[in-house]
Structure 1
Amino acid sequence: MRITNSAKIAAAAVGLSAALAGSGCASAEPTPVQPTIVLVHGAFAESASWNGVIDRLNQQGLANIAVGNPLRSVQGDADAVRGVVAAINGPVVLVGHSYGGQVISQINDPKVKGLVYVAAFAPEEGETIGELSGKFPGSTLGETLNKVTLADGSTDLYILPEKYQKQFAADVPDAQATLDARTQRPLNDRALNGKSGAPSWKTLPSWFVYPDADYNIPVAAHRFMAERAKARATVEIPGASHALTVSQPDAVAKVIVDAAGAVS
């Protein structure tokens, strides 16, 4: 699979440069190349959780793709995203929700120009998401989990369907929250306990958008991570839940569009 950013625009830019050169003009400003937005979901969600955000990015003319995050291990999941990035021509902005933030932090590819963290983890080297969520009080996730032991000895973690809306998606309409609870994808405990490598947020510009009513990741942890990463911009949404991509697609898309414009 190869994804090409605005081939017609690039061709037009080449033609314009040639025309200007032939007319005796000294120089022309290069046409900015918009990045492709790569969206990485987190635990207890799946790719369709980005649907509302994708609609808004499409309206802005931004190429985008939502990756199926395996949720099996930090490095294995990062490898899956790395493969998608490698197939893209041109610059990329990586966007991660929840555990997806840890995954995008592991991608070191010169095509990646910026990072957007959406109610997401941004761990330091050696940290796990479990450690980060427990660093500050407020997370009630552990009380809602159903644990399923797998044949390989690892454990898959689900949020109990009857507790899903209150824990994960309190500001999502009932029908949608019920559907999301049934289609959630589990996080393996090897991913939960996986230590981060050297994070790319130390060398790339980052943007953070997060809720202040998050029961998975305490808001104090969000603030701490954004400050530590020296975020270009931080947006805190009052009353929003952890399911920010579903309940607040306008706000999320705006941050992504801002980031894309800043790195173009």
Structure 2
Amino acid sequence: GEGLQHADGHSPVLANTNPAVVAYDPAYGYELAHIVRGGIERMYGGSHPDPNVMYYITVYNEPMVQPAEPEDVDVEGIVKGIHYVQAPESAEGPQAQLLASGVAVPWAIHAQQLLRDDWGVAAHVWSVTSWSELRRDGLAAEEHNWTHPEREARTPYLTDKLSGSEGVFLGVSDFNHSLPDMIRPFVPGDYVTLGADWFGISDTRAAARRFYKIDSHSIVVRTLAELARRGEVDRAVVQQAIDKYDLHNPNAGESGTAGGDA
């Protein structure tokens, strides 16, 4: 599912249109292990109410350092679609929540560092393993609430997960805007997205991600722009960041590795 070079920015979006497809875009090997185990248990364990499904999992051939599984790993969050992966070193300053999936998670972590070091913003990083499962859960909660007003209202899993989070929310993946846009109704705050829309581009991974504005520096600038809109940072900071990172130059991109090319 490399959406950048191979003009596949939409396959997880299409997967969501089939109710029998459970789609995931994991970032790390330990996430993949829990997703596969959960899929086997669902399809063959005999206890799930809806076992008649198929799984679509986007994995990447881009070499990445794989972190060890945390001791307090949130297995439920991984299977349901989102879990918290990295807190900022300091909680001081304007707040941001970076929601990333797949190979975008390392770029979100890099953006977290840049936001802290260059602009004094405290960013929190979340790994969204499945945008579509979060959307389906949210839609199910909405339908339950309006069709059963006599019953206790349900809160979407994503809304509950993010309920204590402050600041702006940003969603990013290696795919179209429409993928992170899936969860928009259930994000409890101001939410912006980045995405690899348009036709495919033949270039390095780093240049392609810069071209589509989904790299770490684009995450930083988009976060600052939303904070500026809210009055939490000066608007001049946004242009300063654009100039500092040479944002409009694809050759200045850094979010990509060499090796593992198809």
TM band (smaller chain)? 0.3 to 0.5
Q: Which has the higher strand share?
A: 1
Q: TM-score, normalised by structure 1?
A: 0.36
Q: TM-score, normalised by structure 2?
A: 0.36
Larger Rg: 1
